[in-house]
Amino acid sequence: MHLTATTYRPFLTRFQSLIALFILCLGISLLSDKFLTVANFWNVLRQISVNVCISTGMTLVVLTAGIDLSVGSVLALSGAITAGLLRNGIPIPSANLYIGFTLLGAMLAGILTGSALGWFNGWAITRFKLPPFVATLAMLTIARGLTMLWTEGFPITGLGDSFTFLGTGWFLGIPVPVWLSGLIVAMAVLVTNKTRLGRYIYAIGGSESAARLSGVNIDRIKMAVYTIAGGLAAIGGLLVTSRLDSAQPNAGTSYELDSIAAVVIGGTSLSGGRGSILGTVQGAIIIGVLNNGLVLLNVSPFWQQVVKGFVILLAVIIDKRTEKNE
């Protein structure tokens, strides 16, 4: 079959981020012989797995036409809670008691913390009709402050080998964080494509009033989405904490920006209703490869930021144009 304009246009549109990624990899590998190695491959994937976790939740939020600015702080607090409980437990001197936490218990507590903060975001947004931007901006500050209070401003370190396995270990030849983020992505793909929740998320983003009239409980879906986003940010927090073997009070600062960038580069519309999890994964990989490549090429960190900014602009411009063509 001949590739006429009408047949290859949709092909280009569909795979534009993959094509961009391919060109990017090709370019970097021509310029640096350290890029195309097995070690670097796993290195890049391991690095992006945190952003993939966060951005999966962010995608769900953005699909409902919302945004979550608090993910970085929520990540920090959740990681710190897990680290703190693991290391110190909860001593209650007055009753001469000490509550210790197993590894699993401490991790669950961290994830619960993140989910609770996400739930609070959703509650504030639906109950008081706050714009998501404002509600989650407030949470960004609140969660960061709580992190400082919990850690008293110092890193919590020395968390043990079994915990650091989560961020640095290997399983069947693949890094554990890659397993974990892959699992999360697989579940999110299933939810968005194959469940009522996923369908309602797209419907709300596409037209909230049409979804409401169709009997969709808008508030409940939004609460669920923000809670999931908080929970996934917490899992990202576990990965960061585990990799560094330390919970830093200022961990995750400005992670929300990388996450939104991944979502946007992945073709999800900030006005909601259009986009996909796999698109976001591609976006996260593009950012990851770009970061890695710029480091390998010895580009100064200051220039890296400039380049990243332009890539985001370019991605959104291309996306706008394809949207118009549809």
Partner 1 sequence: MLIAENITKRFAGVTALDGVCLEFRAGAVTAVIGENGAGKSTLMKILSGVYPDYEGQIRFNGEPVRFSSIRDAQACGIAIIHQELNLIPYLTITENIFLGREITTRWGTLDKNAMRIKTQELLARLKLPIDPETRVSELKVGQQQVVEMAKALLVESDVIIMDEPTSAISESEVAVLFTIIDDLRKENKAIVYISHKLDELFTIADQYVVLRDGKSIESGSMQGIDHDTLIRKMVGRDINTIRRRTTGHAFQSLLSVENLCLKHPVRVQENQLKNISFSVRRGEVVGLFGLMGAGRTELLESLFGLHPKRCSGAVYLDGKSILPKTPADAIRSGMALVPEDRKKDGLVLGMDVQTNISLTVLEKIEHAGLLSQVKETTLAKKYVADLKIKTPSEKQTAKNLSGGNQQKIVLSKWLATNPKLLMLDEPTRGIDVNAKNEIYKLILQLADEGMGILVVSSELPEILAISDRVLVMSEGILTAEIAVSEATEDVILKAAIPKSMSERVKE
Member of 217, 299, 313, 321 binding partner 1 (CB under 8 A): 217
- Residues facing residue 171 across a β-bridge: 174
Report, in Å, the least distance between residue 195 CB and partner 1.
6
Phi then psi for residue 98, to 5 deg, are: -145, 120
Q: Counting contacts by CB under 8 A, is residue 63 touching partner 1? A: no
**Residue 211 or 232 with smaller CB distance to partner 1:** 211
Report, in Å, the least distance between residue 56 CB and partner 1.
19
Q: How far apart are CA 248 and CA 144, in angstroms?
A: 11
Residues 239-278 as x/- pattern, contact with partner 1 by CB under 8 A:
----------------------------------xx----
**Residue 152 or 324 with smaller CB distance to partner 1:** 324
Angle at the Cα of 15 (from 193 to 35), degrees rounded to 5? Answer: 110
Report, in Å, the least distance between residue 194 CB and partner 1.
4
Q: How far apart are CA 208 and CA 210, in angstroms?
A: 6
**Residue 120 or 202 with smaller CB distance to partner 1:** 202
Both tokens of residue 13? 């549109």
Residues 176-215 as x/- pattern, contact with partner 1 by CB under 8 A:
--------------x--xxxx--xx-xx--xx-xxxxxxx
- Return residues touching partner 1 (CB under 8 A): 190, 193-196, 199-200, 202-203, 206-207, 209-217, 273-274, 326
